[in-house]
Amino acid sequence: MKQGAGLTVGIIVALIAGGGGYWLGGKGSSMHGAGGTAATAGAVVPAGDAAKKERKLLYYRNPMGLPDTSPTPKKDPMGMDYIAVFEGEEDSGDSSAPANPNQVKISTEKVQKLGVRSEAAQLRTLDKIVRAAGRVEPDERRIYAISPKFEGYVERLYVNVTGQPVGRGQPLFEVYSPELVSAQREYAIAAQGVESLKDAGGAAQAGMKQLAESSLLRLKNWDISEAQIKALAQSSETKRTLTFRSPVAGIITEKKALQGMRFMPGEELYQVADLSSVWVVADVFEQDIGLVKTGATTKVRINAYPDKTFEGKVSYVYPTLNEMTRTVPVRVELPNPGLLLKPAMFAQVELPVSAKGAVVTVPVSAVIDSGTRQIVLLQKGEGRFEPREVKVGARSDANIEIIDGVKEGEQVVIAANFLIDAESNLKAAVGGFGHSAHGATPKAGGDTETTTPAAQGASHRAEGTVDAFDAKAGTVSLSHGPIASLKWPAMTMEFKIANESLQNALKPGAMVSVEFVERAQGEWVITSVKPMTMGQEAGTPAPATKAHTGR
């Protein structure tokens, strides 16, 4: 009995020993396979992770968080290396940071508060109205000057005020001229000679006829009317005075003739303008002149008649540009019934023009014009926006042509885009500092702990050596160590000082501990300075020089 029991116990012990050995052997093998990782990290890692695939490099991004990327390694203006971004690292884990470094993400709540609205780019035909300021001018082809071609005296005035309307053929003034009397007598004598020699020989008759013709031509060259010449030929009596008549119906715009005055050949005594048709000369801006075509119908509005619209046609586009106003004169011919339009009146001209056909367009409000380039914001998803530089073309009152940068159907922001752009700049200046790989704080045990960037407007601390100080500009060049609150590495950069009272402690070569804040984007201002000695450690109390705030 005892012998059987002993045998049973022995079998059980052997089975336990064999199973334990098998378990211990498998456990040891597992631990041996992960030994390197467990030793360093203090954790068990599956053996398959030891053969991870090599990560794919996407691009290098700005270490300060600015929206600037590079396909190759480079440094920023402060000497900091651009940070490599690998596949799967596009999103930093921050809910406010977009996957694409050129995008900005805004919460849905903020989008609603800003009143953001978007619209798809569409194909449209841009019918535009070019508006220009103009002035009414008399038609230069309808202005007549009354200038006698001989010397004489004004005997009598029939029209003696400027602005008086006259009809065609109406007497204007009467003149006396000794030359005119002499020419008339000469013609009368020649005409009588021709009549008396009509039965004489050919030579005498031909000579007298030439004399009569030359006298008649002289009178015609002096603008003597045919009726007056005919009367002279019939009566053979010379007249002491000659009456000048208006060549056209119009308005006396200039009157220089005075009763009894002497005038010389070619002197202008009257000017008559026919105002039944006038010109409106509009000053069209340089960028619109290519759209204006001769013959186009225009609408003209005059301040004096706000309820009336006058219609005319473009008759001429002047070939000159006013370099002061950058405008080109455009002439519009306008009928003037009732003489409502007065010369020198101001006019507002509208010239409807047609564009080149269907083109990709967006609302005018979608384009942000910085002066050097034009940008639109594309909506790439829920709360995600991407700035896109575009090239613009013609524009109408509501829409503008996009030559390059946006395709038909892409959603562009048409309202609150300036606020989104401001939000984008703010995130790049503040939130982007957290992406830097520098500035991690060592922990005991060799691990690193990443600190959170300080809030905007918070005070930061740095220790370093003063390289140079410019008292006139109020700036100091400081070579400082790493700044954990901003994730900055050690570097040399320029600061401004908040007050002149800090100058004494900022001597070149001095070791100092400073406190500074960001007063504006990229503008760092020192508000407190503490001198340091060669052996002094960070955090050791020292006398401080602070900027006076006036409180």
SS3 472: coil
Q: What is the pLDDT of residue 399?
A: 87
Spatial CA neighbour of 542 closest among 531, 526, 528: 531
Listing DSSP states for 2-59 in one string gives HHHHHHHHHHHHHHHHHHHHHHHHHHHHHHHHTHHHHHHHSS---GGGGGPPPPPEEE
Domain ranges of the chain: 104-126+356-429, 140-273, 277-354, 438-546
Residue bearing tokens 């029939």: 158
How many angstroms separate the CA atoms of 105 and 81, rounded? Answer: 25
Task: Quote the pLDDT of residue 443.
Answer: 39
CA 485/CA 503 separation, integer angstroms: 25
Among the CATH numbers 2.40.50.320, 3.40.50.920, 3.10.20.590, 3.40.640.10, which is that of 438-546? 2.40.50.320
Predicted local confidence at residue 423, as pLDDT: 58
List, in order, residues 6 or more apart from 439 with CB less than 8 Å away.
451, 482, 483, 484, 486, 487, 488, 489
User: What does CATH list as the number for 140-273?
Assistant: 2.40.50.100
End-to-end Cα, the chain, rounded Å: 104
How confident is the model at residue 69, as a pLDDT? 77
Question: 104-126+356-429 domain in CATH 3.30.1280.10?
Answer: no
Q: What is the pLDDT along the chain (551 residues), one digit of tens a residue?
A: 444 444 444 444 444 444 444 444 444 443 343 333 333 333 444 444 444 457 788 888 777 656 567 888 888 777 778 888 777 655 443 444 445 656 777 777 777 777 888 899 988 887 778 899 999 999 999 999 999 988 999 999 999 999 999 999 999 999 998 888 888 888 777 777 777 777 666 777 777 777 878 878 888 888 777 777 777 766 667 778 888 999 999 999 999 999 999 999 999 999 999 999 999 999 999 988 888 889 989 999 999 999 999 999 999 999 999 999 999 999 999 999 889 999 999 999 998 876 677 889 999 888 988 777 888 888 887 778 888 889 988 777 788 889 998 989 999 998 876 776 665 554 454 444 333 333 333 333 333 333 333 344 567 889 999 998 888 888 889 899 998 888 888 888 888 887 777 888 888 888 889 888 887 777 888 888 888 876 555 444 444 444 444 33
How far apart, in Å, are the Cα atoms of 32 and each of 27, 36, 43, 130?
9, 8, 13, 84
Q: What is the pLDDT of residue 125?
A: 81
User: Could you give the CA distance from residue 463 to residue 441 in angstroms, rounded to a whole number?
Assistant: 16
How far is Cα 501 from Cα 206, in angstroms, rounded to an integer? 115
538 C-beta neighbours (distance < 10 Å), count = 9
Measured CA to CA, the distance from residue 231 to residue 215 in angstroms comes to 15
pLDDT of 468-518, one tens digit each? 888 888 888 989 999 888 888 888 888 888 777 788 888 888 888 988 888
CATH 3.30.1330.120 fits 277-354, yes or no: no
Neighbours of 42 (CB within 10 A): 8
| Two domains, one topology: 104-126+356-429 and 438-546 | no
Residue 257's pLDDT is 94
pLDDT value for 452: 35
Q: pLDDT tens digits, residue range 25-78?
A: 444 443 343 333 333 333 444 444 444 457 788 888 777 656 567 888 888 777
**Could you tell me if 289 and 325 are in contact, meaning their C-beta atoms sit under 8 angstroms apart?**
no
* Angstrom distance (rounded) from CA 167 to CA 517: 85
* 212 burial type by CB count under 10 A (0-12 exposed, 13-18 middle, 19+ buried): buried
Sheet holding 171-176, edge to edge: 241-245, 171-176, 152-157, 262-263
**Best CA proximity match to 257, nearest among 243, 274, 273:** 243
Residues 56 and 60: their CA atoms lie apart, in Å, by: 12
